[in-house]
Amino acid sequence: MAIFEHEVVVVGAGGAGLMAARYASEGADVAVLSKLHPLRSHTGAAQGGICAALGNEEEDHWIWHAFDTVKGSDYLGDQDAIVIMCQDAPRTIIELEHDGVPFSRTPDGKIAQRPFGGHTRNFGEAPVRRACYAADRTGHVILHTLYEQCLKRKVRFYNEFQVLDLLINPDGEVAGVVAYEIRTGEIHTFRARAVVLATGGYGRVYKTTSNAHANTGDGFAIALRAGIPLEDMEFVQFHPTGMYRLGILITEGARGEGGVLRNRLGERFMERYAPTVKDLAPRDVISRCIYQEIREGRGIDGKDYVYLDLTHLSLKQIETKLPEIATFSKIYLGIDPSREPIPVAPTCHYAMGGIPTDPDGRVYRAVRLLEGRDGNYQDEQGRWVTPRFELEYVPGLYAAGEVACVSVHGANRLGTNSLLDLVVFGRRVGKAIVQQLEREGRRLPALPDDPERRARQTLEAILSRSEGESVAQVRADLQQMMMDNVSVFRTAETLQQARQAIAEIRNRAERVRIDDHGRQFNTDLMEAWELLSLVDVAESIIHSAEARTESRGAHSREDYPKRDDARWLKHTLFYRYPDGSVELRYRPVTILPAEQYPFFQPKERKY
Ligand SMILES: Cc1cc2nc3c(=O)[nH]c(=O)nc-3n(C[C@H](O)[C@H](O)[C@H](O)COP(=O)(O)OP(=O)(O)OC[C@H]3O[C@@H](n4cnc5c(N)ncnc54)[C@H](O)[C@@H]3O)c2cc1C
């Protein structure tokens, strides 16, 4: 056991963590801790693209991008943060290009762009080509480039260090983290002035997911256990085109290149639901439409999937623009997409909710309302008002990437906006940390007493049991339960069942048995610990979803099919206390003034 000291500790080496590390390293000593080798982070699996209104292929403007993001979020995204992201996007892409990201090119050598779901020209008129891409390996090339940039800047990497706890001292300041060294089985304390949580998503809470095995929501659970709320957890994105039964993603870029969805009758059914943008409607909309087709008996062979048809694309287009998904289809399904349609169904893909932050990635633990309301309301002229509130921050704590909720994605994220979120807000976090150190000094805060106690007790408890169920069994039951009760459609009944089931699953998860009792590379032990994180995340999703009696974005309540702005134009904050009790609080959405941003006022969402 050892105590390591760094000014800044970044937890997670995906796009968000590396971007934060890179910028923090300009004025601080930075360590990155990652349970995986950095290049195995899920960012490397991102396929389709990263968007910015560069206008390389046709006219485009950041304000159109911001409008699409506000509307895509079903008006739950914070509009100040959305404006920051969309305005900063073109600069960010050029910077990535200069760092060495090998983007695909137009014939005259500019960064190529393709259409993606929900991205439109002129406030919803028609799809626009806004997604920059490197074939269908966009995340892979970005991750490699950022890793090189961090190595060049002497960022210190601790690979295969799994963080188990966040340390907050009695003064309420962040003091560091506790990590388990997978190679040796030792527990270490890392002291730091600033900590960034950039641990990615929690897709593994569900049975069918596009996410990697490592996406177990650790950062969400670590924050929750440190007394920090989770924001908007009811909003879970199901991507419409996962390979049937496997959940492996077929990028939306396939539809951007001209692919279409078809039902049993061969009909291009999205034309009926979204006449303007058709197969390029946002993900929440298309996932619901697929289930609607299936319910009405138009799934393929009457089963629970539809077809993604690329057979009309040219072979050259598939080979140069979608090589990875062509290979995946052949390997996993034995299907050549240039000849046969691909069977697809929705797959759990992305966490809109997460650790609440401001646009500089600073984490807050509470909201103080300066006016009596926790949600937005309309004035006499019908304009939406944002009641004033103040944030109570956790000094020294930052979050970025999928684990964070800034919130730019609101109730539904648009494709290619996540990679953008990582680089824009990852960079802002890095810069904010340097400013914090310059302003407040570099003294390392005092550690709480016996910092490793909780981590040690949790692991010892798991190792000491010789009887109990296997991790795999309890995890499979959890994933199936979430799939059955808390996926694309929800009702009071399914959510109540889920609430009862999760209490029982928690009991079982706290009593699992593992076979490996050794110290080195004890991945069984880490999986048992991750199961506890999955349970915490699932519980936050269930409670937040049960309370929200409306349908908005990815949260679709069959018993409350309409969006209800009068009651629910507000963000959820889920708290869990050490005695196991939970609490929901709310805060208003930041809506910009109607005079300046008339297009951003909430209205019915049609495509
Ligand atoms: C298949 C797929 C395709 C996608 N395609 C696109 C796309 O084309 N465009 C787009 O915009 N978005 C896309 N997304 C979404 C996007 O890729 C992710 O939201 C984003 O990459 C998440 O990045 P991140 O940096 O937050 O986390 P990740 O890249 O997931 O990295 C998380 C890091 O945290 C570390 N970590 C986790 N837990 C711990 C712990 N306890 N201790 C220490 N380290 C830990 C991991 O080792 C890892 O380094 C896609 C997602 C998937 C799954």
Residue owning the nearest CA to atom 8 of ligand 1: 48
106 within a domain of the structure (yes/no): no
Residue type, 13: A
- pLDDT for the residue numbered 474: 98
100-115 average pLDDT score: 96
Query: Is-contact 564 250, C-beta < 8 A?
Result: no
Residue owning the nearest CA to atom 24 of ligand 1: 200
Q: What is the radius of gyration, based on Cα positions, of the chain?
A: 23
Q: What is the DSSP string of 561-604?
A: -S--HHHH-EEEEEEE-TTS-EEEEEEE-----TTT-GGGS---
Average pLDDT, the chain: 97
Residue owning the nearest CA to atom 52 of ligand 1: 46
Residue list, ligand 1 pocket, CB within 6 Å: 11-17, 33-36, 38, 41-43, 45-50, 138-139, 162-163, 198-201, 210-211, 214-215, 218-219, 249, 251, 350, 401-403, 416-419, 422
Residue 37 Cα: closest atom of ligand 1: 47
Residue owning the nearest CA to atom 3 of ligand 1: 46
Residue owning the nearest CA to atom 5 of ligand 1: 46
Q: Give the structural domain span for 496.
A: 453-564
CA-based nearest residue to 42, from 533, 402, 399: 402
- Alpha helices (runs of H) in 242-371, residue ranges in sequence order: 253-256, 270-273, 283-295, 315-321, 323-328
Rounded to the nearest angstrom, the distance between the alpha carbon of 36 and the centre of ligand 1 is 11
- SS3 of 230-259: the string is EECCCCEEEEEEEECCCCCECCCHHHHCCC
Query: Is-contact 401 603, C-beta < 8 A?
Result: no
Write out pLDDT tens, residues 157-204: 999 999 999 999 999 999 999 999 999 999 999 999 999 999 999 999
Residue 533 Cα distances to 216, 225, 457, 505, 530, angstroms: 7, 10, 16, 12, 5
Residue type, 99: D
Question: Looking at 283, 362, 587, 605, which residue is catalytic?
Answer: 283
- pLDDT for the residue numbered 541: 98
Rounded to the nearest angstrom, the distance between the alpha carbon of 294 and the centre of ligand 1 is 31
Rounded to the nearest angstrom, the distance between the alpha carbon of 133 and the centre of ligand 1 is 17
Rounded to the nearest angstrom, the distance between the alpha carbon of 130 and the centre of ligand 1 is 22
Write out pLDDT tens, residues 221-269: 999 999 999 999 999 999 999 999 999 999 999 999 999 999 999 999 9
10: tokens are 């970044």
Strand, helix or coil at 335?
coil
Query: Is-contact 206 226, C-beta < 8 A?
Result: no
Please tell me whether the overall predicted TM-score, pTM, comes out greater than 0.95 for this model: yes
Contacting residues for 149 by C-beta, under 8 A, at least 6 apart: 18, 22, 99
Q: Which helix (H) or strand (E) holds 63?
A: helix 62-72
571 within a domain of the structure (yes/no): no
For residue 1, is pLDDT > 70?
no
Boundary (domain end) residue, out of 346, 361, 382: 346
Residue 350 Cα: closest atom of ligand 1: 19
447: tokens are 């550690």
Number of domains in the chain: 2
Mutate to test the pocket of ligand 1, among 22, 37, 164, 419 (most ligand atoms within 8 A of CB): 419
Q: Which helix (H) or strand (E) holds 174?
A: strand 174-181
Rounded to the nearest angstrom, the distance between the alpha carbon of 215 and the centre of ligand 1 is 8
For residue 459, is pLDDT > 90?
yes
DSSP code at position 403: G
Torsion sign (Cα): 208, 211, 213, 218: negative
Contacting residues for 121 by C-beta, under 8 A, at least 6 apart: 58, 59, 60, 64, 127, 128
Query: Is-contact 113 65, C-beta < 8 A?
Result: no
CA-based nearest residue to 498, from 479, 517, 516: 479
Mutate to test the pocket of ligand 1, among 36, 40, 42, 525 (most ligand atoms within 8 A of CB): 42
Residue type, 415: G
Residue type, 64: W
Angle between helices 15-24 and 138-152 (to 10 degrees): 30
- pLDDT for the residue numbered 28: 98
Residue type, 40: R
Boundary (domain end) residue, out of 285, 315, 346: 346
Q: Which residue has the higher pLDDT, 257 or 372?
A: 257
For residue 43, is pLDDT > 80?
yes
Contacting residues for 522 by C-beta, under 8 A, at least 6 apart: 182, 185, 514, 516
483-495 average pLDDT score: 98
Residue type, 56: N
Rounded to the nearest angstrom, the distance between the alpha carbon of 490 and the centre of ligand 1 is 26
Residue 403 Cα: closest atom of ligand 1: 26
Residue 311 Cα distances to 329, 336, 350, 524, 567, angstroms: 13, 9, 28, 44, 46
Task: Give the CATH number of the domain where residue 323 resides.
Answer: 3.90.700.10
Task: Give the CATH number of the domain where residue 495 resides.
Answer: 1.20.58.100
Query: Is-contact 272 293, C-beta < 8 A?
Result: no
- pLDDT for the residue numbered 514: 96
Write out pLDDT tens, residues 20-30: 999 999 999 99
Q: Which helix (H) or strand (E) holds 131?
A: strand 126-132
303 within a domain of the structure (yes/no): yes
CA-based nearest residue to 217, from 540, 522, 481: 540
Rounded to the nearest angstrom, the distance between the alpha carbon of 511 and the centre of ligand 1 is 29
251: tokens are 């990028």
Residue owning the nearest CA to atom 21 of ligand 1: 43
CA-based nearest residue to 76, from 407, 382, 378: 407
As a whole-number percent, the residues of the chain with pLDDT over 90 amount to: 99
Contacting residues for 107 by C-beta, under 8 A, at least 6 apart: none
Residue 400 Cα: closest atom of ligand 1: 26
- Neighbour-count burial of 234, counting CB atoms closer than 10 A to its CB (0-12 exposed, 13-18 middle, 19+ buried): buried
As a whole-number percent, the residues of the chain with pLDDT over 70 amount to: 100
Query: Is-contact 63 165, C-beta < 8 A?
Result: no
Residue owning the nearest CA to atom 9 of ligand 1: 416
Contacting residues for 122 by C-beta, under 8 A, at least 6 apart: 64
Boundary (domain end) residue, out of 346, 373, 399: 346
549-572 average pLDDT score: 98
For residue 2, is pLDDT > 80?
no
pLDDT band at 372 (very low <50, low <70, confident <90, very high): confident
407-423 average pLDDT score: 97
85 within a domain of the structure (yes/no): no
CA distance 80 to 84: 6
CA distance 168 to 173: 5
CA-based nearest residue to 357, from 119, 552, 84, 583: 84
Query: Is-contact 308 265, C-beta < 8 A?
Result: no
**438: Cα separation from own chain's centroid:** 31
Write out pLDDT tens, residues 348-363: 999 999 999 999 999 9
DSSP code at position 487: S
269 within a domain of the structure (yes/no): yes
Q: Does the annotation mark 283 as catalytic? A: yes
147: tokens are 């890793």
